[in-house]
Amino acid sequence: MRGGRGQPAPQPLLDVTDLRVRLRTPRGPAHVVNGLSYSVGPGETVAVVGESGSGKSVSVLALLGLLPARTATVTGQALLQGEDLLRMSPERLRQVRGPGVGMVFQDPMTSLNPVLTVGRQIVEGIRAHGDVPKAQARARAVELLAEVGLPDPVRAVDRYPHELSGGMRQRVVIAIALSNSPALLIADEATTALDVTVQAQIIDLVEKLQADHGTGVIWITHDLGVVAGIADRVLVMYGGRCVEDGTVDDVLEHPAHPYTKGLLGALPDLTAIGPDGEIPDLVTVTGLPPAPTDLPAGCVFWPRCPVRADPRCETEQPPLVPVAPLRNGRLGPDSPPAEGRDGQVGAGRLPHRAATWCAEGLS
Amino acid sequence: MSDVLISARGLEVHFPLQGKGAVRAVDGVDLDIHRGETLGLVGESGCGKSTLGNALLRLVEPTAGTVTFDGADMTALDRRSLRSLRRRAGMVFQDPFASLDPRRTVAQTVAEPLEVHRLRSGRREIAARVGELLELVGLDPAVAGRYPHEFSGGQRQRVGIARALAGEPDFLVCDEAIASLDVSVQAQVLNLLRRLQRQLGLTLLFISHDLSAIRHISDRIAVMYLGRIVEIGPATAVGADPQMPYTQALLSAVPVPHPELERTRQRIVLRGDVPSPSAVPSGCRFRTRCPHAFEPCPEVDPALQEVGAPGQLAACHLHGVIGTPIPAFGTES
């Protein structure tokens, strides 16, 4: 659903400010998420993209308190309908998971319990959040399975996960996530393990449910094609930071950050065939992402950056600022970094921002 | 010298099930791979594409049919001749973490084919050749003494490619060789494979579920569904104007990174799941999910027929009912 397109939602469902996650590791502290701020409106889909190790999964696990408390330090603020997820008591958090936030994980083979029928796993979720009689919860489970498109839901409730295909299992996981009508749905690489034709089914399903219930969605993926199809807004993560964000059209069609450009260039594009019929070589980003235990002193992308247009890149992290002034070269070195998304850029338009001093060098 | 390097006729790999029946992983494949071409083999999980790749090298024993490699019948060879023929075929596997021995150095791994096939003798000669191979795949020869865990996924995959090239093969099978890599690393490996293919004149079978990658690297594309090749032809033709409804659905389901295009594009969403390869539908095996299925589909097993561009073949009755009537319905089998 593209409910959020065009105008910023007046009251965001989720408002994350300066989220930071540090993990204790044998090799020293790992700075996995380093100051992430974004918001999700009702009915809006925000895609978080990045490669493995960019911190995209950890950033949402931190929101739901799913990181091991002994090794993870989470700071910042994450307001879900006005209430800070990061400061909730474990009991309150347990109440919020479900009716507040539903989560769909990557692997439908491992996120279901193999020794319980899918019906019991759905009923468990429903009964944890309300005094619902068993028979009624079971009837609701059948309804949910029908809603996510499982054929023959009356018999499917008594099936075990191994009796279902991967696509069907992911539908069950989605049914569980939806069982308490969450305001926000987080899908972490929810279609990555599935075949493309099944992926298309699941995306259709989520879009339909979102249209029906006005659910806000955070869709974590590395697949920019999927992003183009489902997202209103995109947030590109690299080295635990947001290096670029904006509407899906701005970010995918007019990328400003050298990393975003590299990611898009690395994709074999079904529409990019030269006039001679020869397919050009793919653009590659040389090198590897930085280890979270050993982040560069300056711009996180500096070690791999093909541009390096500014001497400050090596020593200073560029702030996330609107792209248009960057492109026009109006933003001088002394200009204050733009904070928040309170519309410095045109009225009624979501800002397109990038954390780089190298936007012009590439365009 | 024939233009065809490797050729399969009526190839079948059936894995018997306990009780009765069998998983028909590869179920009647005719395929010619031409010298110096890259053939992309695409299909969804469980369609038999990996088993087909393995059967072409006799890494699994075909239960019926023949495979001819450069004129020699692979299926009739004894172990000794098979081994010498296998030198001419390399394989790159999906998971660069599992396909390298963690306790052997890169040099030991890459040198093994040289020793097995006695291509080089003497420590110095072998080391020199290992250095050459590492350079060929874009690795610094100085890393030869390191162990797999010291490398990233992309670098490990380069080691796997170097090992596959050690026997100086004519034919290289890449089975989901980029599936476990990050996007930017996938691009590096795809570029490398394309360069090697041109530089060494390799014949490449590139097996993948990723249609974008397949279209990018292949000269011809073969589409597999439930153990059968259902469409094959030049990459440009199959990619742009597919003639088989399954290929059409598959292509339409591949998301492209252009929001405007994604918004306007009509996705063909298939109903249901792929049937089990142990219970293949009669007639056309795609008919249970096909949006165009009609009367002859359950009754006649469609044969590949020339449709669309030159060299493009599709197994679909929409282009004329051609094929084998199935015994229960037809007059003969």
b/e for B175-189, b at 16 or more Cβ within 10 A?
A: bbbbebbbbbbbbbb
Q: Which residues from A are below 8 Å from B259, CB to CB?
A: 228-229, 231, 248-249, 252-253
Q: Which residues from B are below 8 Å from A165, CB to CB?
A: 273-274
Whether chain B has a CB inside 8 Å of the CB on A164: the answer is no
CA distance B210 to chain A (A): 8
CA distance A42 to chain B (A): 20
A166-178 and A134-147 are packed helices; what angle lies between their axes, rounded to 10 degrees? 130
What type of residue is A186?
A: I
- Of A336 and A76, the structure prediction assigns the larger pLDDT to A76
B123-136 and B153-165 are packed helices; what angle lies between their axes, rounded to 10 degrees? 120
What integer pLDDT is reported at residue B84 of this predicted model? 86
Check pLDDT > 70 for residue B305: yes
Q: What is the 3-state secondary structure (H, E, C) of B50-104?
A: HHHHHHHCCCCCCCEEEEEECCEEHHHCCHHHHHHHHCCEEEECCCCCCCCCCCC
* B274-279: average pLDDT: 87
Q: Which residues from B are below 8 Å from A274, CB to CB?
A: none
The answer to whether the Cβ–Cβ distance between A288 and B152 falls below 8 Å is yes
Check pLDDT > 60 for residue A266: yes
Which residues have CB under 8 Å from B62's CB, separation 6+? B11, B12, B13, B26, B55, B75
* A261-287: average pLDDT: 77
What integer pLDDT is reported at residue A86 of this predicted model? 95
What integer pLDDT is reported at residue A362 of this predicted model? 44
What integer pLDDT is reported at residue A361 of this predicted model? 46
CA distance A90 to chain B (A): 35
A166-178 and A118-127 are packed helices; what angle lies between their axes, rounded to 10 degrees? 10
Give ∠ CA A83-A206-A351 in degrees, rounded to 5. Answer: 60
* A326-348: average pLDDT: 41
Q: Which residues from A are below 8 Å from B216, CB to CB?
A: 268, 279, 282
* Percentage of chain A modeled with pLDDT above 90: 55
Q: What is the pLDDT of residues B208-237, one digit of tens each?
A: 998 989 999 999 999 999 999 999 999 999
What integer pLDDT is reported at residue A331 of this predicted model? 44
Whether residue A146 contacts residue A200, with contact meaning beta carbons closer than 8 Å, is answered with no
Q: What is the pLDDT of residues A96-120, one digit of tens each?
A: 998 899 999 887 778 899 999 999 9
What integer pLDDT is reported at residue A333 of this predicted model? 39
In A, residues 70-129, which contact B (CB 8 Å cutoff)?
A: none
User: Given the DSSP bridges, would you call strands B300-302 and B305-306 parallel, antiparallel or unpaired?
Assistant: unpaired
Element at B23 (helix H, strand E): strand B22-34
Whether residue A240 contacts residue A299, with contact meaning beta carbons closer than 8 Å, is answered with no
What integer pLDDT is reported at residue A363 of this predicted model? 41
Q: B198 pLDDT band (50/70/90 cuts)? A: very high
Q: What is the pLDDT of residues A206-226, one digit of tens each?
A: 888 888 888 999 999 988 999
To the question of pTM greater than 0.90 for the whole model, the response is: no
Average pLDDT, whole number, for chain A?
Answer: 85
Pair of tokens at residue A130: 């309300």
Which residues have CB under 8 Å from B166's CB, separation 6+? B90, B110, B111, B112, B113, B114, B119, B129, B133
| Cα–Cα distance, A298 to A303 (Å, whole number) | 9
Average pLDDT, whole number, for chain B?
Answer: 91
Q: B326 pLDDT band (50/70/90 cuts)? A: confident
Pair of tokens at residue B262: 């994604």
A195-204, B68-77, B231-240: which range is least confident on average? A195-204
Whether residue A114 contacts residue A160, with contact meaning beta carbons closer than 8 Å, is answered with yes
Pair of tokens at residue A271: 């529409």
Check pLDDT > 70 for residue A337: no
* B256-263: average pLDDT: 88
b/e for A130-154, b at 16 or more Cβ within 10 A?
A: eeeeeeebbebbbebbebbbbeebe
The answer to whether the Cβ–Cβ distance between A262 and B184 falls below 8 Å is yes
Minimum-distance CB partner of B183 among A51, A269, A273: A51
Check pLDDT > 90 for residue A235: yes
Q: A279 pLDDT band (50/70/90 cuts)? A: confident
* B135-140: long-range contacts, CB 8 A cutoff, minimum separation 24: B136/B162, B136/B165, B136/B196, B137/B161, B137/B162, B137/B165, B137/B192, B137/B196, B138/B188, B138/B192, B139/B106
The answer to whether the Cβ–Cβ distance between A168 and B183 falls below 8 Å is no
Check pLDDT > 70 for residue A338: no
Give ∠ CA B201-B207-B212 in degrees, rounded to 5. Answer: 95
The answer to whether the Cβ–Cβ distance between A195 and B260 falls below 8 Å is no
CA distance A272 to chain B (A): 9
* Percentage of chain B modeled with pLDDT above 90: 68
Q: A277 pLDDT band (50/70/90 cuts)? A: low
What integer pLDDT is reported at residue A165 of this predicted model? 83
Check pLDDT > 80 for residue A271: no
| Cα–Cα distance, A179 to A169 (Å, whole number) | 15
Q: B264 pLDDT band (50/70/90 cuts)? A: confident
What integer pLDDT is reported at residue A332 of this predicted model? 40
- Of A182 and A324, the structure prediction assigns the larger pLDDT to A182
What integer pLDDT is reported at residue A67 of this predicted model? 93
What chain A residue is nearest to B213 in terms of C-alpha separation?
A268
Q: A6 pLDDT band (50/70/90 cuts)? A: very low
Which of A109-118, A346-355, B31-40, B322-331 shows the highest mean pLDDT? B31-40
CA distance B330 to chain A (A): 32
ipTM of the complex model: 0.80
| Cα–Cα distance, A62 to A83 (Å, whole number) | 15
Check pLDDT > 70 for residue A329: no
Helix, strand, coil percentages, rounded to 5, for chain B: 35, 25, 45
Q: A341 pLDDT band (50/70/90 cuts)? A: very low
Helices (H) and strands (E) in chain B, counts: 10, 14
- Of A277 and B250, the structure prediction assigns the larger pLDDT to B250
Q: A349 pLDDT band (50/70/90 cuts)? A: low
Which residues have CB under 8 Å from B124's CB, separation 6+? none
Whether chain A has a CB inside 8 Å of the CB on B266: the answer is no
What integer pLDDT is reported at residue A330 of this predicted model? 44
A1-5, A67-71, A78-82, A122-126: which range is least confident on average? A1-5
What integer pLDDT is reported at residue A166 of this predicted model? 82
Whether chain A has a CB inside 8 Å of the CB on B152: the answer is yes
Which residues have CB under 8 Å from B57's CB, separation 6+? B74, B86, B89, B91, B173
| Cα–Cα distance, B88 to B85 (Å, whole number) | 6
Q: Which residues from A are below 8 Å from B309, CB to CB?
A: none
Element at B139 (helix H, strand E): none
Q: B158 pLDDT band (50/70/90 cuts)? A: very high
The answer to whether the Cβ–Cβ distance between B255 and A226 falls below 8 Å is yes
What chain B residue is nearest to A249 in terms of C-alpha separation?
B259
The answer to whether the Cβ–Cβ distance between A222 and B188 falls below 8 Å is no
Q: B64 pLDDT band (50/70/90 cuts)? A: very high
| Cα–Cα distance, B229 to B250 (Å, whole number) | 14
Q: What is the pLDDT of residues A299-318, one digit of tens each?
A: 999 999 999 988 999 999 99
Of A79, A59, A75, A62, nearest to A14 by C-alpha is A79
